[in-house]
Chains A and B, each alone.
Chain A
Amino acid sequence: MLSTHQQPDTAIPMNMVEAVNQALHDAMAADEDVVVLGEDIATNGGVFRATEGLKEAFGIRRVMDTPLAENLIAGLSVGMATQGLRPVAEIQFMGFIYATLEQLISHAARMRNRTRGRLSCPLVIRAPFGGGIHAPEHHSESTEALFAQIPGLRVVIPSSPARTYGLLRAAIDCPDPVLFLEPKRIYRLQRLPVARHGDPLPLDRCFTLRAGTDVSLISWGAMIHETLAAADELKNDGISAEVIDVATLNPLDRETLIATITKTGRAVIVHEAPGHGGFGGEIAATLASDALLHLRAPVERVTGYDCPMPYFALEQQCMPGTDRIVAAAKRTLEY
């Protein structure tokens, strides 16, 4: 786990949204090229309070409430990033990120490539994502797979306060554009110790959250918590599950994934997004091509149904629950 990165003497308890806030504070204090922009982020401190206090600490020159326009936010960020600023933009909800696609796909992700390294685009776009908080329509999407296919764009998804802090600091330091997706359902789930000045976390490694020998449960984001709960249940039934937090969808840490299957021979991939075209398919394909002879059962995928996340009256029925994860794990063992 993360203990290697933590210095217990400096660790303070935070929830995930506090960890975002702390990482932004610390990154802005460390580097005055870091600027923050978005809708309602300055005076209001963000609708989830992720940017609270930044305006007071760093002023409106570096903490910018933009006009309401996501394409603008993305384009501003690209322009700033090409000229040496380190913009960290907030898109209020992932459901409103689609107007940024042209800037991300056609420019941010390929500026370095197009100019053969003359210009680059070290921006971070942060967006809360995922369902389960009874939000209005379009506020509960998990469309990470759309972004994970964009070559040149890193896609990072934390699932604990410490990984939020460490990965966000790394994302801001990273010379490449990063989409940083925050699973808002677990924003305030628990306060856990976070080492503020620990080493930044790697942007291309999975995290092994629990070691096991019988089956590998592979997930990311808020679903990590259902997955850990499933591992607990399986343990009660005498089944030892390894839990992998993918955390960085692009680039993907294939070594850790292959290594876990080499050990357990069984894989259950869990994500909230629809299964069809979901990022689980990329992982399954990796296992099929690079770990086939270690697989002792077909790879299971436990995902949302192939529909947009329903408006909240039905959202619980769409999200994978612990029961479905446990059942899938048992199928791999009974195969």
Chain B
Amino acid sequence: MFTRTPYECHTRLAVDGQWHARPGDDRWARLIEGYRTMALIRQFDKKAVNLQRTGKLGTYASCLGAEALTTAAGQTLQPDDYFVPYYRDQATQYLRGVRLEQILQYWGGDERGNDFPADAPAVRDLPNCVPIGTQLTQAAGVATKAKQRHEHTAVLVTCGDGATSRGDFHETLNVAGVWQLPLIVLVNNNQWAISVPRRLQTASRTIAQKAEAAGIEGFQVDGNDLPAMLDALDYALDRARHGKGAILIEAMSYRLSDHTTADDASRYRKASDLHAAWQREPVARLRQALVEAGHWDGDQEKAWLEHCQRQVDEAIDSYLATPPAPATDMLDYLYANLPPALLAQRAQLEQRTTGGHHA
């Protein structure tokens, strides 16, 4: 059991990696797996930012600082659950079977990055959602389907702290309460919505407390703390799968990056705040805890980071080597069948972009 209240942040790991509550012996393997994913995603993220800087990727939304909460989401979702992401969920998507090269392809401006592998749990997941908050009501729709079909599955939807200002957020909590939907709303409260700090989004003490007005459970968790996030999501998803209703989880984190590669956070954020946030960051914190408990060491770390480097480099090579999509793709997926009314346009597009030759 763990404390679940909207006003106190559930934490397992102190910032120096000391355990508030040590895990049982059967728990370490999962934490080590989680750590591996977090370290991998951190490397991936860093290289993705570099790819953008060298013109090989478009605007990219870094997930620096979100590794624990997004990894926990991926670790706790069952393959037949549903995931409805926003756009900082790289680790969750990866654990749902989206390939790293596809994540790059997405940020490289190519819709094929949204075409998740047919054999991955992600195959029914919704794609990234850019118009803020609009994924939330959709997730309620997915949850309605799961409930009507008596599936014993859960739907996990993510959003940022800024998104909680949209009507979509409140509409979703409301219907989730009224209809007892198997829906978990996970807010990545990274304290910023581009330049706007959390206190300018809402005057309520916490975001988690907004669940109360909707008649659902809500609580706050340390989003920089993998074991705490696993506690929270295990509990919430299990309840949802068993028909016990929706839950709002506010994961407290910090956006350690600029908003995206198009942003310069030094315009609106104090360096000292960022520095302080780094002291709580999730990857080093879990590593220290694992090392302290004797479940990880320097050699393992070195070997794993080398592995990550190779895996990420391979993904980048594969991304860069992928030939561009034919321009006709812009029309070919719009309708189930290309309407005859579009045939002439399609022919013109093909003629212009392949010079009449088929690529």
Task: Write the residues of chain A forming the contact surface with B, with a CB cutoff of 8 angstroms.
Answer: 39-40, 43-45, 47, 65, 67-72, 95-96, 98-99, 134-139, 305-308, 310-315, 317-318, 324
Contact = CB atoms under 8 A, between A and B. Distances in A.
Contacts of B59: 134-136
B130 A69 contact: no
Contact of B330 (A72, A318, A324): A318
Contacts of B327: 314, 317-318
A68 B162 contact: yes
B200 A67 contact: yes
A68 B196 contact: yes
Contacts of A135: 58-59
Given A47-B262, A310-B111, A69 B330 contact: no
Nearest to B107: A136
B130 A137 contact: yes
Nearest to B160: A68
A96 B132 contact: yes
A71 B200 contact: no
Contacts of A69: 165-167
Contact of B165 (A47, A67, A95, A137): A67
A81 to B, nearest CB: 21
B311 interface: no
Given A134-B109, A313-B108, A44 B268 contact: yes
B138 interface: no
A167 B74 CA distance: 51
Contacts of A44: 194-195, 267-268
Contacts of A313: 108-110, 324-325
Interface in B310-359: 324-325, 327, 329-331, 334, 342, 345, 349, 352-353
B128 interface: yes
B17 to A, nearest CB: 34
B109 A317 contact: no
A262 B196 CA distance: 53
B330 A305 contact: yes
Interface string B128-155: 1011110000000000000000000000
Interface residues of B, number: 42
B257 to A, nearest CB: 15
B-side interface mostly: loop
Nearest to B108: A313
Nearest to B193: A68
Given A39-B196, A317-B349, 16 more contacts: A40-B195, A40-B196, A43-B196, A67-B202, A68-B132, A71-B167, A96-B131, A134-B59, A135-B59, A136-B58, A305-B345, A307-B330, A311-B110, A313-B110, A313-B325, A314-B325
Contacts of B130: 95, 136-139
B58 A305 contact: no
B201 interface: yes
B211 interface: no
A305 B331 contact: yes
B163 interface: yes
Nearest to B60: A136
Contact of B200 (A45, A65, A314): A65
Contacts of A317: 327, 330, 349, 352-353
A305 B349 contact: yes
A306 B342 CA distance: 8
A95 B327 CA distance: 22
B330 A310 contact: yes
A333 B38 CA distance: 63
B354 to A, nearest CB: 10
Nearest to B132: A68
Pick from A98, A135, A138, A305 the residue with the most CB of B within 10 Å.
A305
Interface in B180-210: 193-196, 200-202
A137 B128 contact: yes
Contact of A311 (B111, B195, B267, B345): B111
Interface in B252-310: 260, 262-263, 267-268
Interface in B52-104: 58-59, 61
B319 to A, nearest CB: 12
Given A307-B330, A311-B110, A313-B109, A67 B58 contact: no
23 contacts: A39-B193, A39-B196, A40-B196, A43-B195, A44-B194, A67-B162, A67-B196, A67-B200, A71-B166, A71-B167, A72-B165, A72-B167, A95-B130, A95-B131, A136-B107, A307-B331, A307-B334, A310-B330, A312-B58, A314-B109, A314-B329, A318-B330, A324-B352
B339 to A, nearest CB: 9
A312 to B, nearest CB: 4
Nearest to B105: A313
Contacts of B132: 68, 96
A67 B260 CA distance: 19
Contacts of A306: 331, 342, 345
B131 A138 contact: yes
Contacts of B331: 305-307
A134 B330 contact: no
Nearest to A138: B130
Contacts of B107: 136
B57 to A, nearest CB: 10
A71 B166 CA distance: 8
Contacts of B330: 305, 307, 310, 314, 317-318
